[in-house]
Amino acid sequence: MAKLIYSAITSLDGYVEDEGGKFEWAAPDDEVFAFVNDLERPIGTYLYGRQMYETMVYWETVSTAADQPEVTGDFAEIWQAAEKIVYSRTLQAVSSARTRIEREFDPDAIRRLKESSGADMTIGGAELAGQAMSAGLVDECHLLLGPILVGGGKRALPDNLGVRLELLGERRFGSGVVHLHYRVGA
Ligand SMILES: NC(=O)c1ccc[n+]([C@@H]2O[C@H](COP(=O)([O-])OP(=O)(O)OC[C@H]3O[C@@H](n4cnc5c(N)ncnc54)[C@H](OP(=O)(O)O)[C@@H]3O)[C@@H](O)[C@H]2O)c1
């Protein structure tokens, strides 16, 4: 059965976006970007909340010319190759290939997708991933914690959820980012 994985780059105090709606402080340097690319490479399908999709669809048309950094061209190729499902009650149309819209988040449909999928799947942003975690659908988390406190904003992890985690791996990066890899529901 395929795994459903939640990955997020967060501040140390656990936010994916600050109170001003900004997340530039989360931008990965080349070392972290290359690591993220290796996490994403085997993923077959991305499940996106509409807001995260609107951020990530940039990668559908980004230039992969030789003058661009290798890590960004690599990520664009990985992103464009994956299947995408966007959860939204408002989005009228998608602007990327291999993409469909779902109007409702149906946990049983996701369970069936995990059973039938030949490759692991990811879920983001935080709002949609929180629903999946609360429904017991998320198998693993990759958290990349940056060396910054932003004091408030959108939380990476859901409120009102109590669940044990098993640490599967960790790594530190030159920028001060720390990667924590957990199994959910140990
Ligand atoms: N830290 C980083 O590295 C990083 C990177 C990229 C982006 N970001 C930020 O992360 C934020 C992610 O946003 P988010 O976590 O608030 O939102 P999200 O989960 O990406 O999207 C929320 C939207 O998904 C749809 N949705 C949620 N639950 C649904 C359900 N049960 N059924 C149908 N549709 C559902 C709704 O869309 P509709 O309103 O259309 O119905 C909802 O407004 C972005 O705002 C972006 O700024 C951070």
Q: What is the DSSP string of 93-151?
A: ---SSSEEEESS--HHHHHHHHHH-SS-EEEESHHHHHHHHHTT---EEEEEEES----
d(CA 154, CA 17): 5
Percent of the chain with pLDDT over 70: 99
In angstroms, what is the span from residue 55 Cα to ligand 1's centroid? Answer: 9
Output the pTM of the full model: 0.97
- Cβ(9) to ligand 1 under 6 A? yes
pLDDT band for position 76 (50/70/90)?
A: very high
- Cβ(3) to ligand 1 under 6 A? no
In tens, the pLDDT along 123-137 reads 999 999 999 999 999
Task: Say what the pLDDT of residue 156 is.
Answer: 98
Question: Is residue 70 a contact partner of residue 101, using CB atoms and an 8 Å limit?
Answer: no
Pocket test for ligand 1, best of 29, 87, 92, 100 (most atoms within 8 A of CB): 87
- Cβ(154) to ligand 1 under 6 A? yes
d(CA 42, CA 84): 14
pLDDT band for position 11 (50/70/90)?
A: very high
Place of tokens 């949609």: 128
In tens, the pLDDT along 16-66 reads 999 999 999 999 999 999 999 999 999 999 999 999 999 999 999 997 777
- Cβ(110) to ligand 1 under 6 A? no
d(CA 155, CA 174): 25
Q: How far is CA 120 from each of CA 2, 98, 165, rounded to the nearest angstrom?
A: 5, 16, 19
Q: How far is CA 12 from each of CA 19, 164, 183, rounded to the nearest angstrom?
A: 15, 20, 20
- Cβ(126) to ligand 1 under 6 A? yes
